[in-house]
Amino acid sequence: MIYFAGLYESWRPTPGEKERTFTIITTTPNLLIEPVHNRMPVILEDEAVDDWIYVRPSASSLTDLLRPAREDLLIATPVSTRVNSVKNDDPGCLLPRIESMAHDSR
């Protein structure tokens, strides 16, 4: 499981209406993500999840959690550029890049 650092809030845009909004916090990319994008989600290590969710740590300790993921935490897998569009929501998006190119041309 991957835990992203995020924030949520419940608020009332109008009387009688309740809305919940959220955001995923990003940081500078690690070396794996840097060639793909200029930022990445903050990924919390297992031992940091409770600190993020339940404990009221000081602002400086929360800031310490907002860093790029360890270099060995993620694995890069080239996939089809079809993932760049929300119109595409099928298993073909996850095919390795070479296979997905053949899949796209069908």
Lowest mean pLDDT across 33-37, 40-44, 89-93, 96-100: 96-100
Tell the burial category of 44 from Cβ atoms under 10 Å away from its Cβ (0-12, 13-18, 19+): buried
| pLDDT given at position 83 | 86
Q: Is the pLDDT of residue 103 over 70?
A: no
The string of pLDDT tens digits covering residues 2-25 is: 999 999 999 999 999 999 999 999
The string of pLDDT tens digits covering residues 45-91 is: 998 998 888 876 666 778 889 999 999 999 988 888 888 899 999 98
Contact 82, 67 (CB under 8 A): no
DSSP letters for the chain = --EE-EEEEEE-SSTT--EEEEEE-EE---TTTTTT-S-EE-EE-GGGHHHHHT----HHHHHHH-SPPPTTT-----B-GGGG-TT--SGGGGSBHHHHHHHHT-
- Please report, as a single letter, which amino acid is at residue 75: I
| pLDDT given at position 44 | 96
| pLDDT given at position 77 | 84
Rounded to the nearest 5 degrees, what angle is found at the Cα of 86, between the Cα atoms of 85 and 91? 90
| pLDDT given at position 98 | 62
- Please report, as a single letter, which amino acid is at residue 29: P
| pLDDT given at position 16 | 93
pTM of the predicted model as reported, rounded to 2 decimal places = 0.74
